[in-house]
Amino acid sequence: MSAASMIAPGTRSSDSKNMHTISVFVADEPGVLVRVAMVFSRRGYNIESLVVSPSARSGFSRMTITCSGDTSILEQMIKQLAKLVDVIRAVDHTDDNAYETEIALIKLQCDTDERSEILQIAEHFNAKVVDYGIESVVLRVYGSSEKMDAMISLLSIFKVAELVRSGKILMARGIKST
């Protein structure tokens, strides 16, 4: 297997041109997450990432869902989401002018000989060392999903002990609602 065809741990395996980012504004009620996830499950869609957070309006939450698949089926799913009682708004932001970011924590098991190369890679990606131990280093990095994938791919030659990615979050630019 060539190095180019290998996928580093934590990188996205789906074709990025079929990747969609959906924002769902929902009432903050028990069971809403399950009902939203079931819309995807019934159609056989895999959710790549899902971030749920409080919104600026009390009593409401925002879900940011990243998934891949056929656009026409996804449009039908968004219409189904909008029909759910607790869903206020569901929008595919794939082609919108929006600011997108995610965060990752990467724990590397390393000895002193490997640290300088790891720290050079971290510096290149503006990652911050948040824990520096005798046998490990924990890095925090934020940015686009592509940036995360590139950094994780470079670090995969070392022993990645743990990896946590937040999933993509986004906000529409300007005064347009997300």
Q: For domain 99-171, give the fold.
A: Alpha-Beta Plaits (3.30.70)
The rounded mean pLDDT for the chain is 88
For residues 83 and 162, what is the distance between their CA atoms, to the nearest angstrom?
39
- Please say if the pLDDT value at position 138 is more than 60: yes
Q: Which residue type occupies 48?
A: E
Q: Distance between CA 35 and CA 42 in Å, rounded?
A: 11
- How far, in Å, CA of 140 to CA of 31, rounded? 32
Beta strands in the chain (DSSP E): 19-27, 47-54, 60-68, 87-92, 98-109, 128-132, 136-143, 159-165, 169-172
Give 46's DSSP letter. Answer: P
CATH topology of domain 16-96: Alpha-Beta Plaits (3.30.70)
Q: Where in the chain is the domain with CATH 3.30.70.1150?
A: 99-171
CA–CA separation, 93 and 90 (whole Å): 10
pLDDT tens digits for range 37-91: 999 998 888 899 999 999 999 999 999 999 988 888 888 999 999 999 999 999 9
* pLDDT mean over 84-106: 92
Range(s) within the chain of domains with CATH label 3.30.70.260: 16-96
Residue length, the chain? 178
Tell me, rounded to whole angstroms, the distance of Cα 27 from its chain centroid.
22
C-alpha 177 chain-centroid distance: 20
* Global pTM value: 0.79
* CB distance 170 to 99 below 8 Å: yes
